[in-house]
Amino acid sequence: MFFASKELDVYAIDSSKVAIDNLTAKTKELNLDINLKYINIIERLSFLDSHFDAIYSHMFYNMGFSNDELKFLFNEAKRILKNNGQLSFSARNNKDSMYKKGIEIAENIYDINGFQIRFFTKEDIKFFVNSNFKIQKIIEDYEEPASLYFVFCYKN
């Protein structure tokens, strides 16, 4: 909604129909123009190669994706970004108060009250991102209730 309020051409995608329905209602209420789409995130995205100038996601990669699924998602981000396109995202990190709480599903992935959450180390971020992007900076910050890494990189 922030980007649309700045009159940028915005596409919002999510694998949650509830999230898309909620955003649809909010954009109508605020009279914002956002292209909304429900997707199965582990399938090839329906956007052309080199379509976007930038991609932003907030805690999206914290879903319980396997390592192979994360590699696929970062490859898709690279595919749909223009040359030197910006990828910026936030991800919960291993300093988060919920890290190692709940039931461990896989390495750094925990089931916490029915939600699978992946927590990242800086090394994890570099592992998944460096093959597709040049990292500009990683900033550690806190956003109630999560300890996050904010990652800024571009397609190389």
CATH code reported for the domain at 46-155? 3.40.50.150
The predicted structure's pLDDT at residue 19 = 87
Q: What is the pLDDT of residues 48-91, one digit of tens each?
A: 999 999 999 999 999 999 999 999 999 999 999 999 999 999 99
Q: How many CA atoms lie within 13 A of 101 on its CB side?
A: 11
The predicted structure's pLDDT at residue 99 = 96
Q: In sequence order, which ranges of the chain are alpha helices (DSSP H)? A: 2-5, 17-30, 67-80, 122-129
Tokens of 146: 């999560």
Q: Where in the chain is the domain with CATH 3.40.50.150?
A: 46-155
Specify the pTM: 0.90
φ, ψ at 29 (rounded to 5°): -60, -40
Between 13 and 126, the more confident residue is 126
Q: Tell me, what amino acid is at 104?
A: E
DSSP state of 48: P
